[in-house]
Amino acid sequence: MAGNCLQAAELTTSGRPVLLPTEIECSLLSAVDLECEDLPNFPHLKSGLLILTTHRLLWLPDSTTTIATASSSASAIPLAAITHIFAAKKSIKSMFASPRFRFQLSVSPEGRVPDSGSGSRSVVVTVVVRGKGDLDAFLSKFWESWRGRAWEIGDEPGSSDAVSGSGSASSSGLYTREGTVRMVGVSGILRKEQEMWESTDKSLQDAFQDLNALMVFARIKTLVTKPDALRTGISASDAAITLGIAPGMAKEHLLTAESKGLLCRDISPDGFRFYINLFPEFDSDDLYLVKDYGIYHTWLRAVSASG
């Protein structure tokens, strides 16, 4: 059994999942953990194979598990029971941890996952990816399959034509030529329109974030090119005072500026010190040429004055 809350996934004698009618595999990830702190009866699912289909998320144990054990722990989550997919968070802290993403799941009062997704409460499930795989591609397919709602094709008028391929509108199947899941029926049209609006909102949000980042980088560059900063560098506290933010946030901005090639970092007894990156100032054809202009020239003057 898949536990007291998730549905059991049926397997063949070779350990492959048994798919539903019109169900198609879309993507997979290896060495995946499923976690849910909201449900005490959530099964212990560690280092398994996560398969995305047009209808479900399937979690299977790794290949070293026996068929009998695999059949008892193989689990399925209908996409119809998923009410929201959270955007993956990208931060400095996430660079040193296993990639993960979360989705919201509708469950019954007893904590079971229904087929229809009409549960009375919601819980959050975390997917931790410990193996190698293209997480961005998996998430893209996950969004497409969830929004496409291919499992509703049997509930739409004329669904028999869609399944058999005899209908002219759906003769090409559930996928487009680009490999994306088709939007099905009226609900698919509405979700397609909602997706367009969300895409527009996300583009505007990204534009404002990029503009804010450019403004922050410009203020950081002004700070590190001051004579004192050219000699001794700056700390997160110095940047926090200039930017008017907390030292922790200022440190993240400095580390981001370093990753973009704007700064260099030195570890001193007092903590991190950041300096302007002078490598772009060098002429690759003549490394010994000292320019009489630019930040490198300003740095030489500042060092000479301090000496």
User: For 224-234, how does the pLDDT look when each residue is reduced to its tens digit (9 = 90+)?
Assistant: 778 777 777 88
Confidence of residue 102 (pLDDT cuts 50, 70, 90): very high
Pair 54, 133 in one domain: yes
In a 3-state reduction of DSSP, which class is residue 241?
A: helix
Here the CATH number for the domain that contains residue 89 is 2.30.29.30
Report the alpha-carbon distance of residue 53 to residue 61 in Å, rounded: 17
The predicted structure's pLDDT at residue 117: 61
Confidence of residue 277 (pLDDT cuts 50, 70, 90): confident
Q: How many CA atoms lie within 13 A of 146 on its CB side?
A: 21
Q: Give the pTM.
A: 0.52
What is the rounded average pLDDT for all residues in the chain?
75
Q: Quote the tokens at residue 225.
A: 């090119």
Pair 148, 220 in one domain: no
Q: State residue 38 phi and psi, 5-degree precision.
A: -80, -20
Question: Does residue 162 lie in a domain region?
Answer: no
Question: Does residue 191 lie in a domain region?
Answer: no
pLDDT in tens, 117-129: 677 788 999 999 9
The residue segments making up the domain with residue 231 are 209-306
User: Which helix (DSSP H) or strand (DSSP E) does residue 75 occupy?
Assistant: strand 75-78
Q: How far is CA 34 from CA 190, 233, 285, in A?
A: 31, 44, 54
Which residue type does 146 have? W
On the question of pLDDT at 168 being above 50, the answer is no
pLDDT in tens, 182-232: 554 555 556 666 666 666 656 656 555 566 767 877 888 888 778 777 777
User: Which helix (DSSP H) or strand (DSSP E) does residue 252 occupy?
Assistant: helix 247-259
Pair 141, 218 in one domain: no
Report the alpha-carbon distance of residue 216 to residue 84 in Å, rounded: 33
Question: Does residue 12 lie in a domain region?
Answer: yes
